[in-house]
Amino acid sequence: MFVPALTPVDVSSIKATAKPWIKACLDRNWDALLGLCTDDVVFLPPDEPMASGDASVRKFLEAFPVMKKFDFEFEHIEGQDHLAVAYGGFRLTVEIDGKPVDVKGKFVDTFRRDDHGKWLYACVIWNSDAPATTR
């Protein structure tokens, strides 16, 4: 059975999710962020338990430190039909105890295309490049 690869339009659509994702994170607009996700989205944050589904992810997001700066870039995107995976690097500055903390790391996101052709985040995984002993 032949399953078609992603088209250039699919790749562009996935790349286009970056700006609204970044804006939602910086604005702490969790409704907008979750609007970019599947209903059963899973977050796999570093050094924390998995958060699965809207209520669990929202609870995790509410507790996440305030982001002062955030940027990421997809380095590679591939997939077939209704599933895609993307990875890349990120930089962010969060405020912890009133002080800025810079974090550089990498991520892997999986996407599912919904019935309307929109690509949504289904699984979000990230971690820091710093060794655990220096965090």
Q: Is CATH 3.10.450.50 what the domain over 8-127 is classified as, yes or no?
A: yes
Model pLDDT for residues 92-114, shown as the tens digit of each residue: 999 999 999 999 999 999 999 99
Per-residue pLDDT of the chain (135 residues), as tens digits, is 666 789 999 999 999 999 999 999 999 999 999 999 999 999 999 999 999 988 999 999 999 999 999 999 999 999 998 999 999 999 999 999 999 999 999 999 999 999 999 999 999 999 999 876 654
> Where do the domains of the chain lie?
8-127
Q: What totals of helices (H) and strands (E) does the chain contain, helices first?
A: 4, 6
| Whole-structure pTM value | 0.92
